[in-house]
């Protein structure tokens, strides 16, 4: 089976639903970039996503 690898931007990716979406997209071999407002999320969520996926793809918004 061939997987079409895509680059995907997830806004709000450090929230509850967004973080789970990011992990699933990474598991499906997609390239994921997360942008989120640091005022509305916890740094520990971003660290867990990085630990689970083994990738640094998170850019907090200014």
For residue 1, tell me if it sits in a domain: no
Calculate Rg over the CA atoms of the chain. 11
For residue 2, tell me if it sits in a domain: no
pLDDT at position 36: 83
Look up the domain containing 43 and give its range. 7-60
Give the residue-averaged pLDDT of 2-10: 84
- Checking if the pLDDT of 62 tops 70, the result is no
With cut-offs at 50, 70 and 90, classify the pLDDT of residue 10.
very high
Q: What total number of domains does the chain contain?
A: 1
For residue 27, tell me if it sits in a domain: yes
**Residue 43: count of CB within 10 angstroms of its CB:** 11
What is the per-residue pLDDT across 12-49, written as a single tens digit (0 to 9) for each? 888 889 889 999 998 898 888 888 887 777 778 878 88
For residue 20, tell me if it sits in a domain: yes
- In a 13 Å sphere around the CA of 35, the CA atoms on its Cβ side amount to 5
């Amino acid at each position: 089976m061939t997987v079409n690898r895509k680059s995907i931007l997830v806004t709000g990716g450090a929230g509850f639903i967004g973080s789970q979406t990011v992990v699933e997209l990474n598991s499906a071999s997609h390239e994921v970039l997360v942008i989120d407002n640091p005022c509305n999320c916890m740094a520990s969520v971003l660290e867990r996503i990085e630990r689970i996926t083994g990738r640094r793809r998170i850019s907090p918004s200014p």
